[in-house]
Amino acid sequence: MKLNKSNVTYLPQKNGMEKKWWLIDASDLVLGRLATRISDILRGKDHPYYTPFYDCGDHVVVINARKIRLTGSKEEQKLYYRHSGYRGGIKEISFERMMATHPDRVVLNAVKGMLPKNRLASKLLTKLKVYPDATHGHAAQKPEVLTIRGGKS
C-alpha cells in the first residue's frame, strides 16, 4: 500500500510542544465551571495539536481555593465519600467540613472527576497545584494569570 498524506496520522512531538504555567484565582468562582476549565487546560484541548491519548496540556496553579463557592443548596447537601476497603468501611464527609479542613481537595476531586479514567489522568493530575490561600511556591515558573468568567451567577 502506498502511503500519502491523507492516510497518515499526525502525532505531536515532545520538542514541538511548549508547556505553559497558568495561575487561576478561584475567589468567588463556581466549582464546576472552574473544574471544567482546568481539566481542559490539563488535557491540552485548547491547543491545535491536541491528541486524546497524549499529554499535551499545560500546568495549572490554583490559589484561594478556600473562597470557592457552589450554586444552589449544594453547600449543605454535598457529601464526599471514601472507602477503606473493609466491609462497612465507607466514610463520608460534608462539604463544609471538607472546606474547613482541606479546601484544596475540593478542587482536586472536582477536576479528577472530569478527567478520563485511565493512567493518563494520574499523570495529568500531577500538573495541577492547588493552594487554599494566595501564597504559592511557583513564582520561578512565571505563571501567566488566567481569568475565568462566570463567577457571579
Q: What is the DSSP string of 61-107?
A: EEE-GGG-B-STTHHHH-EEEEE-SSTT-EEEEEHHHHHHH-HHHHH
Containing domain of residue 132, as a range?
Answer: 19-70+102-145
Which CATH number covers residue 116? 3.90.1180.10
Rg of the chain over Cα atoms, rounded to whole angstroms, equals 18
Is residue 88 in a domain?
no
pLDDT digits (tens, 9 = 90+) for 70-101: 999 999 999 999 999 999 999 999 999 999 99
Q: Which helix (H) or strand (E) holds 144?
A: strand 144-145
Is residue 50 in a domain?
yes
Is residue 9 in a domain?
no
Is residue 93 in a domain?
no
**pTM to 2 decimals?**
0.89
pLDDT digits (tens, 9 = 90+) for 39-62: 999 999 999 888 899 999 999 999
Domain count, the chain: 1
Is residue 55 in a domain?
yes
Is residue 57 in a domain?
yes
Residue with cell 457529601: 79
